[in-house]
Amino acid sequence: MSTTPERIIPRRTVHCGDALPWLRAGGVRTGAALVTSLPDISEVGKPERDWRAWFTDAVGCVVHATPPASVALFFQSDVRHEDHWIDKGALVVAAGAAVGAHVVFHRIVCRFEPGRAVRGRPTYTHLIALSRALPARAGDGMPDVITEPGRAVWPRAMGIKAAALAIRFARDETGAHTIIDPFCGAGTVLAVANALGLHAEGVDLSARCCARARALAIERSELDDSAAFRAPPRDGGSSRRTAGDRR
């Protein structure tokens, strides 16, 4: 008599609190990858020098919570502050190097269609993967420029298709079964991880954001699974993609 395996329902846990003490207290998150966007200077409310120190510390906390052979992925948009620009991509790379992490890949995600002129915040976002042990060649085959980020659940959120690309990479290249976003906001990363069959855990200081992050639902059908978001076959026509990601 055959039996049907029980379907595993992905969990989602959202904590309301300060991410950095939470990260430090939890140590390395076995089986996890971290995917997040660190707040910029306007969101933290500190003078620039203090914010830069906080940002550097935050990157280090995220890296230390990531298993050495896993990956920490950062979506970061540069921002104009007073009379100059702050390159948050460069800050992530430097802060990662300071705690022993190297760049696995650095990609660009278009926030709007290429060619649009905007003020104060560029039309692109950095997508940077850091790891202490995962080889840089793990990023081979991923698009250099992601022009279709997908729907944003709020104006400054990452697009759901871009989030799916990052999460699939973490799942397929590192075997992560849990995605953690320590600055989860409205919960895009958490909802996309669940839609892709992974457990998700998030943290945010705002009770309102935590409520939204717990409730946000994204359908699997919304996540682009086309060739543009998949690595090409490797030598001999083989592919790293799992059976669950094929159609």
pLDDT by residue (tens digit) across 36-70? 999 988 888 889 999 999 999 999 999 999 999 99
Residue 240 domain-assigned (yes or no): no
What is the structure's pLDDT at 157?
Answer: 84
Q: Around 156, how many Cα atoms within 13 Å sit in the side-chain half-sphere?
A: 15
Task: Give the residue, 225 or 150, on which the prediction is more confident.
Answer: 150
Measure the CA–CA gap between 34 and 58, rounded to whole angstroms: 12
What is the structure's pLDDT at 3?
Answer: 56
Measure the CA–CA gap between 177 and 242, rounded to whole angstroms: 13
Measure the CA–CA gap between 241 and 139, rounded to whole angstroms: 13
Count structural domains, the chain: 1
Q: Distance between alpha carbon 222 and the CA centroid of its chain, in Å?
A: 18
Residue 239 domain-assigned (yes or no): no
Domain span at residue 127 reads: 12-234
Q: Which helix (H) or strand (E) holds 102?
A: strand 102-110
Residue 143 domain-assigned (yes or no): yes
What is the structure's pLDDT at 234?
Answer: 44
Residue 50 domain-assigned (yes or no): yes
Give the lowest-confidence range in 43-57, 111-125, 138-152.
Answer: 111-125
Average pLDDT, the chain: 87
Residue 246 domain-assigned (yes or no): no
How far, in Å, are 31, 194, 244 from residue 232 at the CA level? Answer: 26, 25, 16
Give the lowest-confidence range in 62-66, 178-182, 222-226.
Answer: 222-226
Tell me the chain's radius of gyration from C-alpha atoms: 18
When pLDDT is cut at 50, 70 and 90, the band that residue 98 belongs to is very high
Measure the CA–CA gap between 101 and 234, rounded to whole angstroms: 26
* pLDDT greater than 70 at residue 194: yes
Residue 241 domain-assigned (yes or no): no
Q: Residue 208 is part of a domain; what is its CATH number?
A: 3.40.50.150
Task: Give the residue, 6 or 88, on which the prediction is more confident.
Answer: 88
Measure the CA–CA gap between 53 and 95, rounded to whole angstroms: 10
Give the lowest-confidence range in 99-113, 193-207, 220-234.
Answer: 220-234
What is the structure's pLDDT at 166?
Answer: 96
* pLDDT greater than 70 at residue 93: yes
Residue 203 domain-assigned (yes or no): yes
For 37, counting Cβ atoms within 10 Å of its Cβ (0-12 exposed, 13-18 middle, 19+ buried), the class is buried
Question: pTM value?
Answer: 0.87
* pLDDT greater than 50 at residue 227: no
* pLDDT greater than 80 at residue 156: no
Residue 243 domain-assigned (yes or no): no
What is the structure's pLDDT at 238?
Answer: 40
Give the lowest-confidence range in 10-19, 58-67, 103-112, 149-158.
Answer: 149-158
What is the structure's pLDDT at 240?
Answer: 41
